[in-house]
């Protein structure tokens, strides 16, 4: 009997087992509950680990195209429910779970409710980009809602003072996780609305998804949507997203990032002032040069005008001089005429002004003489 059994290869056996597993409908798309152990995440994005309960353990793999859809960060000790199919790995003759979906035990319903609320808020337009307001990066006052003693408040305050020290900072302390956190956050937010703030930062450091649940509270989210001032959300890390992130006008991946979004760096201001100073100096220099050119042009025009005026006055003076020359009595004398004056020095214009025996003074071109009137004749 033994001798009559067919001889097959090991790989044939493993391939046959794989086909049995793959063709068994009971082992396709099953939901399996267990605790994660030996968890390893590779640079390729593939996740390799084991699922175990009190009595058994089974290997599992989740390839990167499915792993990137996980809504939390899995780790050893997490109790999860996975959607998977049973498969075999022929080279090693081992079988494992090929996982398509994964959720934390106890959080599945919460995630469903959160997704419903997210869709509802989105349908109301509360996430629309058109609602987003610009951030004033030259603020007079900035408000911060976060835990009073955590790393987040230190990071925010330190970086604001480093970047833009003239801004006033108002801190509204609150719990950021736990059952009472939503109510405390709402009270802190309502108090912040009583202040004249340019920007309000709401945030905390990173944490597990369940630690960030307070920032998904519907009352808090709807209140923040009506904020008087722009909101910067800094909740968790880059991979964490809460409803507050969707409502906020800006989202920062870290508290430090929130401080950077809320202010301009003073070094940028210093550079801006330096550039402005250079531009003003250049503008002033250009203006002075323009005025110099205008003055030179005016000077040239004035010089030309003065030359024209002097020439005109000179020509006019020469004209008057010629007229005076013509009217000069000496000019008349040079033509053979003389001037006679009576005893008082008045010119004698007609014979009625003289009488016999009168002494008359006569002026010629080259001298003068006195004579006595002997005889007077009229016309």
List pLDDT tens digits, range 30-80.
999 999 989 999 999 999 999 998 889 999 999 999 999 888 889 888 889
List pLDDT tens digits, range 107-126.
556 667 888 899 999 999 99
**Structural tokens at position 160:** 């604001």
Average pLDDT for the chain = 87
Q: With residue 11 as reference, give the H or E element that holds it.
A: helix 10-23
Q: How many helices (H) and strands (E) does the chain have?
A: 10, 13
Q: Which residues pair with 79 in a beta bridge?
A: 35
List pLDDT tens digits, range 283-303.
888 888 888 888 888 888 888
What band does 1 get if pLDDT is binned at 50, 70 and 90?
A: low
Domain boundaries, the chain: 10-107, 137-267, 330-372
What band does 246 get if pLDDT is binned at 50, 70 and 90?
A: very high
Mean pLDDT, residues 83-96:
91
**Structural tokens at position 58:** 């089974």
What band does 207 get if pLDDT is binned at 50, 70 and 90?
A: low
Do 200 and 194 form a contact (C-beta atoms < 8 A)?
no
Mean pLDDT, residues 197-215:
82
Mean pLDDT, residues 367-376:
86
Residue 27 neighbours by CB under 8 Å, 6+ apart: 21, 85, 86
* Cα 25 from Cα 29, distance rounded (Å): 8
**Structural tokens at position 367:** 């001298």
Instruction: With a cut of 70, say whether residue 106 has pLDDT above it.
Output: no
Q: Which residues pair with 32 in a beta bridge?
A: 82
* Cα 371 from Cα 327, distance rounded (Å): 27
- The Cα-based distances of 173 to 110, 157, 165, 203, 293 in angstroms read 27, 13, 21, 11, 65
| 10-107 CATH pick, 2.30.30.30, 2.40.50.140, 2.30.130.10, 3.40.630.10 | 2.40.50.140
Place of tokens 């009488």: 355
Quick one: which of 316, 358, 362, 313 has its CA closest to 340?
362
* Cα 128 from Cα 125, distance rounded (Å): 5
Q: Is the pTM of this model over 0.85?
A: no
Handedness of CA 22, 26, 29, 33 (dihedral sign): negative
Q: What is the pLDDT of residue 208?
A: 60
Side-chain half-sphere of 340: how many Cα atoms within 13 Å?
14
CATH code, residues 137-267:
3.40.50.261
Do 21 and 86 form a contact (C-beta atoms < 8 A)?
yes
- The Cα-based distances of 340 to 331, 351, 374 in angstroms read 16, 11, 15
């Amino acid at each position: 009997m033994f001798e009559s059994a067919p001889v097959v290869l090991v790989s044939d056996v493993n391939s046959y087992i794989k086909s049995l597993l793959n063709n068994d409908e009971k082992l396709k798309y099953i939901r399996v509950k267990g605790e994660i152990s030996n968890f390893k995440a590779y640079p390729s994005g593939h996740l390799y680990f084991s699922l175990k309960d009190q009595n058994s353990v089974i290997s599992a793999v989740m390839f990167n195209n499915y792993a990137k859809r996980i809504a939390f960060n899995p780790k050893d000790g997490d109790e999860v429910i996975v959607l998977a199919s049973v498969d075999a790995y022929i080279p090693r003759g081992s079988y494992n779970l090929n996982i398509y979906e994964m959720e934390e035990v106890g959080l599945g319903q919460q995630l469903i409710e959160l997704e419903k609320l997210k869709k509802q808020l989105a349908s109301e337009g509360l996430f629309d980009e058109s609602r987003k307001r610009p951030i004033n990066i030259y603020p007079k006052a900035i408000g911060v809602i976060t835990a009073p003693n955590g790393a987040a408040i230190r990071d925010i305050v330190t970086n604001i003072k480093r970047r833009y020290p003239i801004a006033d900072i108002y801190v509204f302390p609150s719990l950021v996780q736990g059952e009472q956190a939503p109510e405390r956050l709402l009270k802190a937010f309502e108090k912040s609305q009583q202040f004249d703030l340019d920007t309000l930062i709401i945030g905390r450091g990173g944490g597990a998804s369940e630690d960030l649940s307070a920032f998904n509270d519907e009352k808090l989210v709807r209140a923040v949507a009506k904020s008087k001032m722009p909101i910067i959300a800094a909740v968790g890390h880059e991979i964490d997203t809460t409803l507050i992130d969707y409502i906020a006008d800006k989202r920062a991946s870290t508290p430090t990032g929130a401080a950077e979004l809320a202010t301009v760096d003073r070094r940028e201001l210093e550079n801006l002032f330096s550039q402005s100073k250079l531009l003003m100096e250049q503008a002033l220099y250009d203006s002075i040069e323009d005025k110099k050119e205008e003055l030179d042009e005016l000077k040239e025009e004035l010089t030309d005008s003065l030359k024209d005026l002097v020439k005109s006055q000179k020509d006019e003076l020469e004209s008057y001089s010629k007229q005076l020359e013509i009217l000069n009595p000496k000019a008349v004398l040079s033509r053979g005429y003389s001037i006679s004056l009576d005893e008082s020095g008045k010119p004698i214009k007609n014979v009625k002004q003289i009488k016999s025996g009168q002494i008359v003074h006569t002026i010629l071109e080259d001298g003068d003489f006195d004579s006595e009137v002997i005889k007077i004749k009229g016309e």
